[in-house]
């Protein structure tokens, strides 16, 4: 399954490497690689891939400025694959990456990406700070593996190298909590049901999930297969797809970002923007209520079975210090303390959650009707730092949803 127009993804997802300009032309804004703060690199068990390719994985791209054509095996401390195979990242071109989730080759499923790293210094005096956002360009199986193409852009739509976190799951198992996902692939349709291969919800006896376009870049998503519960749920959204203009040989909608405008019960409203203005876009969406982003079993504070994951999520209010609203927060830890601290000098919000360990995956998405986007600045034991920007790339205090998912070993 390809999320993009046909002109883009053919060679990229067929496994070939597109050569890029010399390194001097690379508009990289890569952050300093994060340090392992947790006492060494965990040793994974021997590979034991599943025969059917069903499962999930996540990865942190630590080397976003690797030479185009390079393949980087993800740091074991910040990547996971339920098949126990290693994940890797190909740097295809400036701002263009392919994440290989080995052993997870299945049609359908869902992918997400979040930019990593803080707002960096201007490239030259008088210029604005360098920032960038990433989107899911496409994903599909390639033999035994799942390939997820990621593209990163500046607010004006220029390709830019950026670190990121990315995740993929094709799980379809009721794990004891509300869960669902979909790929909204038809951005200009008034109302439609997404392809069944790219959507899922826990109550399979209900009608399929539905997307309604209410205006330019505005969508209402009805997750019809989850229990209507007004609290303790959260929604993650990633902009998806690209449009390639053969005449100019450029991507024309690279700077589109999507966010959660609001959510209540089994309904979510989504807003997509380009340069601060509403813009139609494809997007991926995952809904979770008291669980993790992968439809894997929850892991309690200690113990648990193989395949069970510790996780936490929270909704953080804009520019405030205090406690995230309990109705929109959850942790498999149980009654652990959550808190948020906003630093107005940097625009960074530090959210303390009880996620057991810093080894794992972190995703974030802006919330509300003010155009913007958010990225993960850093994460450590029980704390995640998030920075947000408005639609023009200026640091902005925005509310956001933030998610942490750990591993089962």
Residue range 246-264, pLDDT digits in tens: 777 677 677 899 999 998 8
Mean pLDDT over each residue of the chain, to the nearest integer: 81
Of the pLDDT bands very low, low, confident and very high (cuts 50, 70, 90), residue 110 is: very high
Of the pLDDT bands very low, low, confident and very high (cuts 50, 70, 90), residue 39 is: very low
pLDDT, tens digit (0-9, with 9 covering 90-100), for 346-378 = 899 999 987 555 678 999 999 999 999 999 998
Query: Which pLDDT value is given to residue 316?
Result: 95
Q: Among 39-48, 95-104, 181-190, which stretch is predicted with the lowest mean pLDDT? A: 39-48
Of the pLDDT bands very low, low, confident and very high (cuts 50, 70, 90), residue 301 is: low
**Greatest alpha-carbon span in the chain:** 59
Q: In the chain, where are the structural domains located?
A: 6-16+54-169, 178-289, 311-405
pLDDT, tens digit (0-9, with 9 covering 90-100), for 61-87 = 877 766 777 787 777 778 899 998 989
317-343 average pLDDT score: 88
Dihedral of alpha carbons 304, 305, 309, 314, sign? negative
Q: What percent of the chain has pLDDT over 90?
A: 48
Q: What percent of the chain has pLDDT over 70?
A: 78
The CB density around residue 205, as the number of other CB atoms within 10 Å, is 5
Query: Which pLDDT value is given to residue 6?
Result: 27
Q: Is it the case that residue 228 has pLDDT exceeding 50?
A: yes
3-state secondary structure of 224: coil
Query: Which pLDDT value is given to residue 227?
Result: 73
Nearest 10 degrees: Cα torsion 348, 353, 355, 360: -20
Beta bridge partners of 268: 221, 263
Query: Which pLDDT value is given to residue 1?
Result: 31
Phi and psi at residue 11, to the nearest 5° = -70, -35
End-to-end, the C-alpha distance of the chain in Å comes to: 31
Query: Which pLDDT value is given to residue 27?
Result: 41
Is-contact 237 262, C-beta < 8 A?
A: no
> In terms of Cα–Cα distance, which of 343, 356, 280 is closest to 312?
356
Which is higher by pLDDT, 66 or 143?
A: 143
């Amino acid at each position: 399954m390809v999320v993009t127009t046909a002109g883009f993804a053919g060679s990229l997802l067929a496994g070939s490497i597109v050569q890029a300009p010399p390194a001097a032309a690379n508009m990289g804004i890569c952050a300093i690689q994060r340090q392992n703060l947790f006492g060494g690199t965990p040793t994974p068990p021997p590979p034991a891939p599943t025969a059917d390719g069903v499962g999930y994985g996540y990865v942190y791209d630590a080397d976003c400025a690797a030479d185009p054509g390079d393949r980087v095996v993800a740091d074991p401390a910040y990547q996971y694959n339920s098949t126990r195979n290693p994940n890797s990242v190909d740097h295809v071109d400036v701002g263009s990456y392919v994440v290989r989730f080995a052993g997870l080759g299945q049609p359908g499923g869902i992918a997400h990406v979040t930019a990593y790293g803080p707002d960096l210094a201007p490239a030259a005096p008088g210029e604005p700070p360098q920032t960038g956002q990433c989107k899911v360009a496409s994903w599909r199986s390639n033999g035994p593996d799942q390939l997820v193409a990621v593209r990163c852009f500046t607010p004006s739509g220029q390709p830019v190298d950026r670190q990121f976190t990315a995740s993929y799951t094709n799980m379809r198992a009721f794990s004891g909590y509300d869960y669902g996902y979909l790929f909204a692939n038809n951005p200009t349709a008034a109302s439609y049901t997404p392809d069944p291969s790219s959507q899922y919800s826990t109550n399979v006896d209900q009608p399929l999930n539905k997307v309604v376009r209410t205006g330019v870049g505005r969508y209402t998503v009805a997750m019809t297969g989850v229990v209507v519960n007004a609290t303790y749920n959260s929604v993650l959204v990633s902009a998806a797809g690209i449009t390639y203009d053969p005449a100019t040989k450029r991507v024309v909608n690279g700077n589109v970002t999507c966010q959660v405008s609001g959510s209540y019960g089994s309904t979510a409203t989504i807003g997509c923007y380009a340069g601060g203005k509403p813009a139609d876009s494809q997007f991926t969406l995952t809904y979770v209520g008291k669980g993790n982003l992968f439809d894997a079993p929850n892991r309690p504070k200690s113990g648990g079975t193989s395949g069970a994951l510790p996780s936490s999520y929270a909704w953080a209010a804009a520019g405030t210090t205090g406690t995230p609203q309990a109705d929109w927060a959850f942790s498999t830890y149980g009654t652990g303390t959550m808190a948020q601290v906003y630093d107005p000098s940097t625009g960074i919000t530090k959210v303390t959650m009880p996620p057991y360990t810093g080894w794992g995956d972190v995703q974030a998405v802006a919330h509300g009707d003010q155009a913007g986007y958010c990225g993960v600045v850093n994460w450590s034991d029980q704390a995640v730092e998030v920075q947000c920007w408005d639609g023009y790339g200026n640091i902005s205090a925005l509310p956001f949803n933030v998610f942490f998912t750990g591993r089962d070993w």
